[in-house]
Amino acid sequence: MQKALEQMNIQLHKVISDITGVTGMRIIKAILDGQRDRLELAKLKDRRIRSSVDRIAKALDGDYRPEHLFALRQAVELYDIYYQKIAQCDEQIEQYLIRLASKISPPNQALPPDKRSSSKRRRQEPGFDLRAHLFHLTGVDFTQIEGFSVLTIQTILSEVGLNASRFPTEKHFVSWLGLCPENRITGGKIKSSHTRRIKNRAANAFRLAAQGVINSNGPMGTLYRRLRARLGPAQAITATAHKLARIFYRLWRDPDAYDPTHIEHHEQQNTQRTIDYLKKKARSLGFQLVPQPTAGL
State in Å, rounded, how far the first CA of the chain is from the last one. Answer: 56
The DSSP symbol for 255 reads G
pLDDT reported for residue 221:
86
Give the orientation angle of helix 201-211 with respect to helix 170-177, to 10 degrees: 100
Q: Which residues contact 20 (CB under 8 A, 6 or more apart)?
A: 1, 79
Residue 233 identity (one-letter amino acid): P
Residue 118 identity (one-letter amino acid): S
Integer angstrom CA distances of residue 241 from 100, 143, 201, 225: 28, 15, 13, 13
8 A C-beta contact, residue 244 and residue 237 = no
pLDDT reported for residue 30:
94
| Residue spans of alpha helices (H) in 102-200 | 130-138, 150-160, 170-177
Q: Which residues contact 254 (CB under 8 A, 6 or more apart)?
A: none
Instruction: Parse the chain into domains and list their residue ranges.
Output: 2-91, 142-284
Cα dihedral across residues 114, 120, 124, 125: positive or negative: positive
8 A C-beta contact, residue 41 and residue 59 = no
Query: Residue 189: beta bridge partners?
Result: 186
pLDDT, one tens digit for every residue, the chain (297 residues): 999 999 999 999 999 988 998 999 999 999 999 999 999 999 999 988 989 999 999 999 989 999 999 999 999 999 999 999 999 999 999 998 888 877 776 666 667 777 665 555 666 778 788 888 888 888 888 888 888 989 999 999 999 988 888 899 999 999 999 888 777 777 777 776 677 777 889 999 999 999 988 888 778 888 888 889 888 998 899 999 999 999 999 888 887 665 656 666 767 777 888 888 899 999 999 998 888 876 444
pLDDT reported for residue 259:
63
pLDDT reported for residue 223:
85
221-230 contacts, C-beta under 8 A, 24 or more apart: 221/146, 222/270
Interior angle at CA 122, CA 245 and CA 49, nearest 5? 125
pLDDT reported for residue 60:
92
Rounded Cα distance between 22 and 20, Å, is: 7
